[in-house]
Every structure is written in C-alpha cells, then in structure tokens.
Structure 1
C-alpha cells in the first residue's frame, strides 16, 4: 500500500478518535429520542450542542445535562442513557407519560425524576456514585426494597423516596453490606407514603448524624421508637404518623430541642404521654389517635410557648381543660375531641388573638364560661352542654363550615377578560400560566386563611425566580387545603414575562428550580415538593433549524476524495444503524400495526407470558367446541373446557357473534390480564383473535367458585381455618392488583362468584372484565357508567361515580361477611351488613353472632379463634366513606394476625386438597361466567335468593 494512503488512514483514525465522544453522544441521544414522544421541535440536525437543542447543556461538545421538565414526554428511559459518559444532571420531572423501570445504567448519574410514572425496583447501581449529593425519586411508582447500596453515597445530603410503593425493611449496614446509617452527611430522610415494614432499626440513628427532617409517615412500620432517635439533636421535623408503632414514646425524645414539628398520630402507642418540656420551639404537635394511658391535660402543654397547633383527639385525656392552654401566645388550633374531658370550659380572660379553632366535640363538657367576646371557631357538639339542653348556641351547630379559602388578589388593577385557556394574572395580563401543586409536608401553622402567610410565600417565590433569571412575571396562589395525609396543598400558577406563553427552555428551568429544592420557602412552610401539570401552550417556533453535518478538517487536498468516500461509507453505516434503531423503536412504541388491519383494531397485543392461539388450535382442544366440552354460558358467550397438547386443562370463553366488544376493547382486556401474575389470581393462558373469533383462554380451576362452596352446591365443607386461608388468599390477590400491578388495577367486581378455589382450596381472584387500571397520576377514576354487582357495590362509588381501590375494599368486606354467614349480600330484602350489625353485641362471646353464622362453623366443635377481630376488619371495610376503610395491604396484615392468633402459619402452603372434604363439584355453573355483572340496570339474578 502506498505510504501516503497509510498516513492518510492513520490521520483519519486519529480524527475519528478525537470526534468519537461527541459523535457517540449524538447517537445515544438520538436513541433516547427514538424512545420518546413530544420531544422539543428544535431537536433536529446532528449537533445537539452546536444547534442548542432545548434542554441540552454541553461542555466541550459533550452532553453534561438534560433538563426537560413538564413538556409531556412519553416513553421509557433506555439503557442508552448510561452511555452519555459525561452526563451529570438528568431532570425529567413532571413528565407523567414517562413509564417503565429505571435501567441500571442510570446509576452513574445525578438524578431528579420527581412526579413521573416510573415503576419497578430501584436499581442497586444507584449507590455507584459516591460524589452524589442529591437524590430525589419521589412521587413515582417504584416498588421493592430500598437498595442498601444507597449507604455508599456518603456525601448525600438529600434523600427523597416518598410517595412510591417501596416495601420491606429500612436497610442498615451489616458487615460489608452498606446501609442508610452510613449517611452521616444527610439532612433529609423523606420516606413517607410507601409500604415500608418492620421496626425502625436502632442502628439507623446516631449522635454523628446531622439529620433535619425524618419523614416516615404512612408506612407499615412496627415496634417501638428507637432510643437512638433522641441522639440526633439536629432534628427539626419528625413525622412517624400513620404507622403501627407501639409501646412507650421514649423519654429522651425531649432531647430534640430543635424540633418544631412533631407528628406521632395514628399509631398504637399505649404508654404514658411523653413529656416534651424541652421542645421550647415546637410549633406543631399531633399525637392523636393513640391509646396513651388515661391522664389529665399535662401542665407542660402550656409551657410550649411557640405552639401554634395542638392535635390530641382520641388520646384518653380526661378531667378539666386548663384555661392557660388558650393563652399560649401563638396558638391557632386546639383539637381535643373524642376524649373524656369534663367540667366547664373556660377560655380565660386573655386567650391568644391568633386562636381560630377550638374543637372539643364528643367529650363530657357540661358548661362554658365566656369572660370576654371570643372570635375563635368553637365546637362543642356531642357534649352534655349541647345534648342536655335545647341550646341554639353556635358551638352546638352541626352545619357550620369553616372558610379558609384564599386566592392571590389582583395588584391594584381590574382583571382582564381573557380568551379560551388564558388566565388573568395578578398584574391583570392574559397569558397561559405554568400550573401545579405545591405540597408542604409539615407546615408549622394550621390557620389556612391567614393571607399574610401566602403573601410571604408569593414574595419568596418571585425572589427565587428573579435570582435565577427565570422568565416569570408574577405568581398566584390559591385553594390552600389540608389533604388526608395532613399535607398542605396550594395551587400555584406561574405567569410568563414578556410574552403570553412560556417556551420549553423557560418551563424546564422553572421545573428544575422547584424539583431540586433550589427554591427555599419561608421556614413556617417546612419541607415541600412540587407536582406540575403538563404545559401544552408553548410558544410557536417560526421554523425548525436544519443544519448539515459538519465534516471537520479536510486532510490534504490530494486525499479529499478519499476522505469524502470514507465519510460517506461511515454515514451509510450510521444511517443503516439508525434505520434499524428507528424500526425497533417503531415496533416497540406501536407493535400492533400488523394485527388485523382490516378491523382497525391496532397491532399485536403487548403480552407478558400469554400466548396467541389460532382458531384451529382451540377447535382441536375442545373437540370442535362440542356439547360435551361446554361447561356453561354467560353474558360474554359460551364457556368450554379444553385440553392443550401439553395436557394443561383450560377454560375457554368464546364471545358470541355480534358481541358488543370491539377489537380495541378485546385487545385492552387481554393486555391487562397478561400483566397480572400472582398465585392468588387466575392466570390468562392466552387468547384467540382469528377467523372472526374473540376467545380468552384461562387456567382451569377445578373446584369452582367460593359462592358454590358456601351454598353447598359443591359438597365441599369449609371449616373456620379454611375460610381464614381463603380470605387471606383473596386479599393478597387484591393487594397485588392495587399495589404491585403495573399499572395498579381496580377489579370493580369483587364477589364470591369471582373467587375460585383450586384443587387445594387456595383462593384465586378471577374475572377482570370490568377492571380498570388506575391512571399514572390519578387516584380516582371518574366513570360515566357505574358497573359492578348489586349488594357488593360500594355505595360511595354508586352515588358519586368516583372509582378507586377503596371500592374493591368495600366489596371484599361483603365477601368476608359472606364467609362467616354463608348468606347472600341481599337476601329477602335484607342487607347482610345491617343483619350483622343488628345482631352484634361486642360485650358477648363471638359478638353474639351465632344466630347469623353459617351453621357449618357455628355448630362445629372447633374454636372460632379470632372471629371477633375478623368481624371488626370486615366492618371497617364496609365503612360508608372510602377514607375510613383500610387499604388491602392493611387487611392482609390483619388476616395474617388473626391466623397466627388461631395457631395457623399464614405463609404455609395448604397441604389439604378438596379430596379431604365431602363431595365434589355437582353443579353446571362455572367460575368463568359473568352473568352477575351490573351495567346501569339491575339484573334479576343480582337479587336472587339463596
């Protein structure tokens, strides 16, 4: 080979090496773009750095930052993200269309992924970057355990994993295994609203830690508060509420003298009230709904001179209320309802002028002394002072509602009349604001109508936006409310400056400031997070940029032609590679395009483990759908028993011709069914969409429905222990649907006809024909047509058409009552809930329910251990309002405890089979039939008497 050509090849190779990092960044960013929809319009050309793509920041032509908040991205994060080796910051906050699990390759990045819809386990590689200082993955849908490897992030100061579905224990170090106790630089542990369980490890805390916020609320933590918590004297906010903590509150908790907000409510503490005298700057104290030992109101309450809010309902307080309690200088709210307080209520001669609410309802207060005109909202409902006289005093009025509304007023101008979707700003300009909700996890005030507080918040927001040079004209705050988590939620509208719309860069920069806690609110608001709405009103771009690929330096005039050819070859290879990538992305994003195009029903279903059968295959396994194979019929069509070539028995639901279910609905149903895999759910084996047929193929469950066994049709006798096991199995199946399925699923038709029993009498939840997946962000599902089965249907859902997972909990409560009574939910005009409640007497053995119990268990010689607790759980499930019902995970835990009380191991596999019981299935009814569904009209079969 000529020496000049060899030299030329060496020079070209060196040039390629120098440019490879930049070129590869573009390749991997393009791969990410292929997986996403709604990327910025200016993501064109081949140089993200030189063309200044929106949201892309570069250093020395290498991509170092991707910030794309609130632009409605849809898709998944592929492993290509890990190939951007210089990437330091990834902010995809508030893109609720981003789904899927996190690739392990993301573990080498700094991350802000607040408020998306990611799910699956957190990768262990999160602990692979010891320089990481900020990790916020809150408000997603992550499941599984907290990776112990996070303990390797020794420089981490902010750890926010709240509002996910994380479970298991809090990890601490053990020999070579790291844990969260190693995070000595951390200031924030935000783990609230998960499913963490087990005790809080004493090893988690030490005097070396510098924590300010420990937020563990709304989990399933048990045991006692560790004494070591009292060693972390830097703590300012502590939330342990809504767990299952018990025992005494440790006495050394009053060593936490910097605490200003303390939440211990809704646990099972049963020791004495803790003495908090040392907490001199405490603003907010909530120890409600615990079983503390009965006591007088302690004098140290009045020593907390910084207190604004005292929440102590249902804590077994008794005696008279001291008047000096209301003279604490900053006190706003005193809630002592549902205790045993008595005597005459005296607010004193000089109660605090900040006092806005005093709730003493449901006590034994017999009088009220008014020394001066009071302006506080006083509630004495369900006290003798209201019950034993005909008083019409305002404090005995049931109909009063407090008004705490607030909205930022106009700035001395008249609000403009704006067009569709535009809003008049406080400066009276019409524009399209960026909106969302600021949620404060531990505010130190309770008077939500205090306009001065929100004026301060508005001012601090604007100062932060101006200091960060963001294109914001003004902000508006409105609708402050306390949600069921005791968080303060405030609607935030951010209005653009200089134009009526934001561009993508402005939105992403604002989202970044709010998501990574750059903005610091006034201290009275405490820790916060922001969840933004998608912004759909971006400024129009005049035209897209189109730039050609830069070739670089041409080496030598004599070699120009050769270099050009070489680059064309490289470009051809790259184009071919990108074409393949694009085709794979197309198949991934729209994999149904080739499936039954004549009917327009989409493409081949996205199935996980389910098989597509041809009509001929199912015809063969049912002997041409013979009458002998027919095991029943339902509203969907005929049901056949079949045997696959591998010997597996299946039940085949064959839609009747002319069925109202179209191809799209059929595809949606099988995709939903194929995603659920749990031992207590009936499995979808496959489907058939061939030759004009729609068929679903399920595993065959030999012992039919729970309904049939309770009614005696199968001849199977269910003893008390077996009924507990069936209850637990069905509850675990529903818990999986609600909390572990992706996305979470509301069954919507839970009933004993849809709980099947296998050969070992294990329960399997079936029939997902009415099921609804929960949306990525919504916790409720508004329907235009109520569906379900009368007698099992949640009355709150029926009245409001607001569907959520608590509707399934209600139906399951009815099933629990069926299990102990063997009665229909509605029988001869009588409702099972009312029958049980009318017969109940909690002072007597078995709650005096022997008359309504199924004779099979009530007349047997076995002890019905735990039946009272079983009834308690069932009645909690059928509470009138959803917020008073337990979650399915709580029901599962209760049933497990009942089984342990009865001497059973809740996790042991059943060793008995249906052969151990009397008889076998005798009826023609089959578990896969759906005759009992309700869809707007009442079916006669729904009220059929047993």
Structure 2
C-alpha cells in the first residue's frame, strides 16, 4: 500500500483505536510498579490497564483508583507512582511482603483522598512530603514497621478524617505547631487519633487538644509517654474513646474531665500516677460504658453513684488503694457485667441485689473467716475470666459438609475457600465474652454490609474470641456465594470495605482494625475488561463518532472521486491528447497520451448524426452522447466491510479490537474488493474505472485556493492539546 495512503489511514483510525487506552504517563507509572512487584494479578499482562487490569479503576483514560488488598504482592513502592497525578484511592492493605520506604514523591499525588497501607511491612521514616496531600481524608499506616518521628507536616492535612499510625516503631514527641511548623493540634476536623503500640516519648503537649477539635477517638496506649495528662483534654467534648494506658504518665489523675459527657470508654491503666482521691467525674460521665483505671494510684471510697451510670458495663480498678465500704446500691446499671477490684483495701462489702461478676480477691474483706468463702473472693478460672471464649458460628439448620483439604464448610453447609483474617477491636465495652447475641449481631452486620455493597458473599463465620491485655481478637471467615472461591476483584473489594472502615460494627465493639490473610485460591476467570467511570459513554461515543467519521470520509471520497472523474472526462474531451497522473498526490504537468483515432460510425453516434445541436462553438462545448460503457458506477463495493471494520475498532473488549496491522490488512482487502490495487506505486496509463478510483490527485500545490475539481483536501493542521 502506498506510503501516503497508509499515513492517511493511520490518521483516520488512530483516534478511534486510542480512545479506550490509558493515559501514557499513567501507563508508565503502572508499569514501573509492576516491575517492582511480584505476584501481580495475571490480568496485568494485558495492554490497557484502564479496561483490563484487576484492581485498577479509571475515569476516562486516567487512573483514579488502585485497590489491591490481600493480593500477596512482594516488593517496594516505586517513586514513579508520582506520575499517577489523578490518583484518588491507593489501597495496598494486607500485603505483608511489601517492604522498603515510602518514596518522598508520594507527596506529588495531589488528588489522593485515601492512602491505606495497613498490614504491610513498609519501614523507614514517614516522608514529610505526606503533608502535601491536601485532599487526604483517610490515612492508614498502621501495622507496618515505620520508625522515626511523626511528620509535623501532617498538620497541614485540613480535610483529614481518619489518622491511624498505630502498631509501628514511631518515636519522639507528639508534634504540635509553634508558629513556624505544623502539628497535630491543627487537625481540627480529624475524628480519629490512633497512635497506640509505638515508642512515642516526652510529655503530651497542652496545646494538642482544644475545644475546636472534633475528635472522637484518642488512642495513645502502649507508648513511652511521660509527664501529666493535659488538662486541655477535658475541652474536647466530642470524645467517645480515650486510651492513655500503659505509658509512664505521672502526676495526678485529671480532675477536670466532667465535660466529657460523650465518653463511653476510658482507660488510663498502668501508669505512674501519684496517689489521689477518686475524682468526682467518675459519677458524671453519663455515657460511660467501660472504666479501666488499673494501677493508677486511686484511693478513697468508691461513690455509689458510679454504678448507677445508665450505660455502665465494666469497671476495672484493681491494684489501687480503694478502701472503706463497697456499696453497689440498688439503682445500678442494668448492663453492669463486671466489677473487678482485686488488690485494694476494701474492708466491707454491702450486699445488695447485684449478682453478676464481682471480684474482691486480695482485699481485707476477703481475709475475714466468715467472708473468705464467698464467690466474690475467688478469682474465676473459667475461659471467660482468662479472656477467651469457645464461641463458633453454628450451621444454619443444615448438616456441615465433608470438604476437600483446605476447604471449609460454611454456615450454610457449602464447601468453599473462605477469605480469612482477624478482627481486632481496640476498645470493646462488654466483658462477657460468652454472650452469643453479641457475635450474632456482628455476623449479621458484616453480612448486610457485604451484600449492600454488591459483594457476592454467602455467609460469614466468627470464632475464638480472645481478649488479651490490650485488644479483643476475633477470627473471621467470609464465604463466597454460589461458588467455592472468590476472584481477585472480590477479595480486593472485601479487604477495602474493612480497611477503609466502610463497615461499622456496633458501638459496643469500639474502634477496630482488620488483619487480612493472603488469599491463595483465586477463581480463574476469563479476562474481561472492566468498565471505568463513564466507559459506557466513551464506548458509545467512540462507536458513534467513529461511524460518523468513516461515513463522512466515504462521502467525501465519493464526492472527490466524482469531481475528479468529471475533470478528467472534461480534460479528455477538451484535450484528448493528455491526462494527469492520478497516482500522484501533489499534481504534475499533463502527460501526453498521443492522438486517438475515432471511426466515422463513432463520430456519427456521438453527434446524433452530425446534428446542428451538437455543433462545437467558439470557446465552448457542444452536446454529445456518452457511451454507457464509460459511465460511472454508483455502487460502493466493500462499503459494508468498511463499516464493519470501523465498528470493530471501537469494541469494548480489547481482545475484540483489531490491531493496527489487522486494520491495514483489512483495508487492503476492501480496496481489492473494490477493484483497486493497494500495492500500486507507479503511475498508470489506463483510463478504466479502477484507474481513476485510486487516491485522488490535484494539479496545484496544497496552499493554492483553487483545486480545479481535483476532489483533494488540504492537509489538516494538528492543534496542540
């Protein structure tokens, strides 16, 4: 096929073929990640990430979401991720073999709203550039191996809602602003401060808290903090869960927490507080469900009003200096399940109607001979007191199936490969681990949440609740619907629903984090392209636009061909001794053909027997009769195949679209069907229909305004985008 013809066809078809492709810098960024990672999804061998790569979502041709939860990825994060400038969602949670440092270039993802790296093994310092992600709403870096200090620049994230850096090796002081640098005190709209299980040290700054903040969770448990708990904590009236337990805090237990009327979980256990009296706010926190003040130096007699708080479930004040008489009263909370006052100085217990768990072992009251045998003087040895339970989800009125190795029978008695992990609850308010109704409620909420997000989940199972010294752990199994295994997209979506905190348990479980296991039994499915946002519109638009473009080009070609043919006929009549080479685009001088001999019979026929009406006048043309054998054909041979080719070029599935070489080959076939020679390069001297149907020429340069019926078009100017 001629070079100029190929260029023309490329210009026509390239926009159609490229409509569904990924923006080139995004493609290069994804390829860089692919090179750095092992165990990427099998679909990542396809050519177009936007339509065919699992875990990748696009808007138009731009990558906006990467969700690869529990994929078993191995490797590091490339600095080239910065090329994904439209990225809004990055979820790599539960890939334990993702290691190395976060590249500073991650700060260039200016449109990122969710950064979820929970349960990976990233290490090193958190780059200060993370404070440049001004659109960030959800930041979850917990359960990694990050070290160094909390970047003060995080204070710049004014839209941040969730901040979780728990379970790392972070050290140093808690950063607050000082006029020249940012700090956590600037996060006025953030609701979650999760910093437990780190190595943070120094005093808790007074400036950290203010009445302008909207915090509901403040978790600094298991760190190395010193000094006093700041009095400003009492200014944050939205607080629901407060944990400062297992630090090195000193001074007195704060006495000004009366305003925290929304707090339901308060834990300041295991610090080095000075001996102090029972604070008055014990009886004023009307929303309190759990009070944990073990080893805090509290002394004096417990007020009876404490037990009358309407939502109270658990009171743990062991290893203090509580003394005098214990009176639970008659108006105690209906939800009260546990009172643990071991290792105190209580001398008398005023019995009442309360008959749930009470532990007074190692108090003077239990040393008396007449009370030493009471149940409250013994420490229970059952599993519940050890923080364990034998709960397991039971079958739903069916007989469990006998399954093949690695498969598990679901609650609906179907063998399958479930997605598994551990739900870790950081501040549960209940103490009765044997209460089955709590777990049934959680199962129902989980299943409803999965199904409401169109996830094909058949059932969920919970088992082996275990409450350690810090958190409550619960095993989770999620079973697929109507199949024995999930595909990669479903695992990614389930993981995201849990890592992004889309699922909300009841308040009695408090804040939680999920630790997902790697899923190794993916369903093998045929690679079908995913629909990005507005992909249907793009496909319809591409199909319609491509069809219209092809039809317009065909009409223009037919018009140009007819005009060319007329010009050549006129040229042959006016000068039968010359013709223009129709195979040259730029136009040439006319080529001599030599004289043509006409018979007497032909002249008579063409002039209607030499009629006066056919007389040639000066400067004009006379009438004549054309031989039907040289008339123009009106049927466009190959037109149907041409339209079919155009429609195939805009097919949704990449595997259904022809390659460029296939397009060129098909066009060559269509040209041959139409009677053209697609490989012709030299000029022809034939005046046949096939000859004049070749690419049209025009006798003047493209910058001329006159085309003399050539039918050619000036080259279009390509504007910068």
For normalisation by structure 1, the TM-score amounts to 0.53
Q: Is the 8 A contact 2:360 2:376 kept in 1?
A: no
Deviation at 1:104, TM superposition (A): 1.0
Q: Is the 8 A contact 1:404 1:447 kept in 2?
A: no
Match of 1:511 in 2: 495
Q: Is the 8 A contact 1:46 1:549 kept in 2?
A: no
Match of 2:50 in 1: 49
Of 17-26 and 127-136, deviating more is 17-26
Matched, 1:284 2:290: yes
Distance of 1:26 and 1:361 partners within structure 2:
67
Secondary structure class of the residue paired with 2:310: coil
Q: Deviations over 1:12-56 (max 9, x none)?
A: 9x9899999722322221221111111111211221123x21111
Distance of 2:212 and 2:378 partners within structure 1:
52
Deviation at 1:541, TM superposition (A): 3.9
Q: Is the 8 A contact 1:302 1:325 kept in 2?
A: no
Distance of 2:376 and 2:256 partners within structure 1:
43
Distance of 1:69 and 1:41 partners within structure 2:
15
Distance of 1:517 and 1:328 partners within structure 2:
31
Match of 1:448 in 2: 433
Distance of 1:21 and 1:541 partners within structure 2:
23
Secondary structure class of the residue paired with 1:142: strand
Secondary structure class of the residue paired with 1:341: strand
Distance of 1:90 and 1:142 partners within structure 2:
18
Distance of 1:161 and 1:526 partners within structure 2:
17
Secondary structure class of the residue paired with 2:311: coil
Match of 1:93 in 2: 93
Q: Is the 8 A contact 1:233 1:257 kept in 2?
A: yes
Q: Deviations over 1:570-623 (max 9, x none)?
A: xxxxxxxxxxxxxxxxxxxxxxxxxxxxxxxxxxxxxxxxxxxxxxxxxxxxxx
2:424 counterpart (431, 439, 444): 439
Q: Is the 8 A contact 1:100 1:118 kept in 2?
A: yes
Match of 1:211 in 2: 215
Distance of 1:521 and 1:399 partners within structure 2:
30
Secondary structure class of the residue paired with 1:320: strand
Q: Deviations over 1:311-343 (max 9, x none)?
A: 000111112221428943211011100111123
Distance of 1:160 and 1:397 partners within structure 2:
37
1:351 counterpart (354, 371, 389): 354
Q: Is the 8 A contact 1:460 1:521 kept in 2?
A: yes
Deviation at 1:78, TM superposition (A): 1.0
Describe the shift of the 1:492–1:315 C-alpha distance in structure 2 as closer, same or farther (beyond 3 A): same
Q: Deviations over 1:691-738 (max 9, x none)?
A: xxxxxxxxxxxxxxxxxxxxxxxxxxxxxxxxxxxxxxxxxxxxxxxx
Deviation at 1:409, TM superposition (A): 1.1
Match of 2:568 in 1: none
Distance of 2:478 and 2:528 partners within structure 1:
27
Secondary structure class of the residue paired with 1:166: strand
Match of 2:414 in 1: 429
Secondary structure class of the residue paired with 2:105: helix
Match of 1:527 in 2: 511
Distance of 1:540 and 1:160 partners within structure 2:
35
Match of 1:484 in 2: 469
Deviation at 1:543, TM superposition (A): 7.8
Match of 1:364 in 2: 364
Deviation at 1:122, TM superposition (A): 0.4
Matched, 1:153 2:157: yes
| Correspondence 1:778-817 to 2 at 5 A | none
Match of 2:64 in 1: 64
Q: Is the 8 A contact 2:304 2:328 kept in 1?
A: no
Distance of 2:311 and 2:151 partners within structure 1:
39
Higher RCO (CA-CA < 8 Å; seq separation 6+): 2
Matched, 1:116 2:120: yes
| Correspondence 1:124-135 to 2 at 5 A | 124-135=128-139
Aligned length: 532
Deviation at 1:401, TM superposition (A): 4.7
Match of 1:568 in 2: none
Describe the shift of the 1:175–1:413 C-alpha distance in structure 2 as closer, same or farther (beyond 3 A): same
Distance of 2:26 and 2:379 partners within structure 1:
68
Secondary structure class of the residue paired with 2:44: coil
Secondary structure class of the residue paired with 2:263: coil
Matched, 1:405 2:390: yes
Secondary structure class of the residue paired with 2:326: coil
Of 219-228 and 357-366, deviating more is 357-366
Distance of 1:222 and 1:396 partners within structure 2:
35
Q: Is the 8 A contact 1:145 1:168 kept in 2?
A: yes
Secondary structure class of the residue paired with 2:26: helix
Q: Is the 8 A contact 1:440 1:489 kept in 2?
A: yes
Q: Is the 8 A contact 1:72 1:535 kept in 2?
A: yes
1:462 counterpart (447, 454, 476): 447
Deviation at 1:85, TM superposition (A): 1.5
Q: Is the 8 A contact 1:45 1:549 kept in 2?
A: no
Q: Is the 8 A contact 1:439 1:529 kept in 2?
A: yes
Any stretches of 5+ residues in structure 1 without a counterpart?
367-382, 562-946
Describe the shift of the 1:31–1:502 C-alpha distance in structure 2 as closer, same or farther (beyond 3 A): same
Secondary structure class of the residue paired with 1:448: coil
Secondary structure class of the residue paired with 1:247: coil
Q: Is the 8 A contact 1:320 1:342 kept in 2?
A: yes
Distance of 1:347 and 1:413 partners within structure 2:
47
Match of 1:26 in 2: 27
Deviation at 1:495, TM superposition (A): 0.3
Match of 1:898 in 2: none
Describe the shift of the 1:332–1:197 C-alpha distance in structure 2 as closer, same or farther (beyond 3 A): same
Secondary structure class of the residue paired with 2:420: strand
2:347 counterpart (342, 346, 353): 342
Match of 1:252 in 2: 256
Deviation at 1:274, TM superposition (A): 1.9
Describe the shift of the 1:198–1:218 C-alpha distance in structure 2 as closer, same or farther (beyond 3 A): same
Q: Is the 8 A contact 2:22 2:48 kept in 1?
A: no
Q: Is the 8 A contact 1:44 1:544 kept in 2?
A: no
Any stretches of 5+ residues in structure 2 without a counterpart?
530-653, 672-677, 680-721
Q: Is the 8 A contact 2:265 2:429 kept in 1?
A: yes
Deviation at 1:542, TM superposition (A): 5.7
Matched, 1:274 2:279: yes
Q: Is the 8 A contact 2:152 2:182 kept in 1?
A: yes
Deviation at 1:490, TM superposition (A): 0.7
| Correspondence 1:848-863 to 2 at 5 A | none
Secondary structure class of the residue paired with 1:457: helix
Matched, 1:319 2:357: no
Match of 1:834 in 2: none
Q: Deviations over 1:791-817 (max 9, x none)?
A: xxxxxxxxxxxxxxxxxxxxxxxxxxx
Distance of 2:48 and 2:211 partners within structure 1:
51
Match of 2:572 in 1: none
Describe the shift of the 1:249–1:398 C-alpha distance in structure 2 as closer, same or farther (beyond 3 A): closer
Superposed CA RMSD in Å reads: 3.2
Q: Is the 8 A contact 1:35 1:75 kept in 2?
A: yes
Distance of 1:396 and 1:178 partners within structure 2:
53
Deviation at 1:395, TM superposition (A): 5.5
Q: Is the 8 A contact 1:365 1:385 kept in 2?
A: no
Distance of 1:274 and 1:300 partners within structure 2:
12
Secondary structure class of the residue paired with 2:492: helix
Match of 2:311 in 1: 306
Match of 2:246 in 1: 242
Distance of 2:408 and 2:24 partners within structure 1:
44
Secondary structure class of the residue paired with 1:49: helix
Deviation at 1:304, TM superposition (A): 2.0
Q: Is the 8 A contact 2:22 2:49 kept in 1?
A: no
Larger Rg over CA atoms: 2
Distance of 1:467 and 1:393 partners within structure 2:
47
